[in-house]
Chains A and B, each alone.
Chain A
C-alpha cells in the first residue's frame, strides 16, 4: 500500500494562475479531505468527500474546487491563485481501520507558494 500520495511536493505559482493539486489513496477509503496549514497554525478544512460523486465545503472553501469521480482520487483545484493561498496542503483519507478505529491517514503535503 502506498497510502495517501500527493503531487507535486512543491509548487510556485504567480498570482492569477490556476493549478490542480493531486491526491490519491489505495486503501479503498470512502472519505477524503483537503486541509491547508499555514505556518505555526493548525489545519483548516477546505473541502471533503464522503464518497465518489459527493463533495461538501469545509471551513475555508473559497477559491478552491474539488471533484470526486473515483474512490481513489480527490484533486483540489485553485481557480485563480492568490498570495493568501500560500500554504501547505494536506490530503487525507479515512475509513474504518480493521473495524477498530475511524483513522484518518494524511499525505506528505504539497507546499505551495503564490507570488
Chain B
C-alpha cells in the first residue's frame, strides 16, 4: 500500500547547527513531495516542495533532496534557530491531489 515514513521520530539540534530530517516513501509512482512544519496548536504550514524530475530544490535556509533510487527524501535546515522547533512532516502526492502524510519528526532546538 501507499505509505510515507520517517526514520527518526525526534531530533535535537544545537542552535546554529544544520538539521537534517529524513523521510522514506514507498510509492515509486509518486511524482510530487512536500515538507510541512507544524507548530503546537496550529495547522501544518508549507515549507518546500519538489517534483520527481528534480533531485534538489533550495529555499530560504531550507533544501530538499530527493533520491528516487532508494525512495528517500530529506529536509535540510541551515543555521537552525529556536523558531524552527516544531514537528516536520513529509507528504507525498500519490495521485491527483491525494496527499498522504508521514508520521512526523519533532525537531527541538537547544539554545
- Point out residues on A near B: beta carbons under 8 Å: 4, 31, 33, 35, 41-45, 48, 50, 56, 58-59, 90, 92, 94, 101-109
Contact = CB atoms under 8 A, between A and B. Distances in A.
A48 B101 contact: no
Those 3 A-B pairs whose CB atoms lie nearest each other, nearest first: A106-B43, A43-B101, A42-B103
Contacts of A102: 32, 49
Nearest to A33: B99
29 contacts: A33-B99, A41-B103, A42-B103, A42-B104, A43-B44, A43-B89, A43-B101, A45-B98, A45-B100, A45-B101, A48-B97, A48-B98, A50-B96, A50-B97, A56-B98, A59-B100, A90-B43, A90-B44, A101-B49, A102-B32, A102-B49, A103-B46, A103-B49, A104-B34, A106-B44, A107-B43, A108-B42, A108-B43, A109-B42
Contacts of B103: 41-42
Given A42-B89, A43-B89, A104-B34, A109 B100 contact: no
Range, interface on chain B: 10 to 19
A95 B96 CA distance: 12
Contact of B101 (A4, A35, A56, A109): A35
A80 B34 CA distance: 34
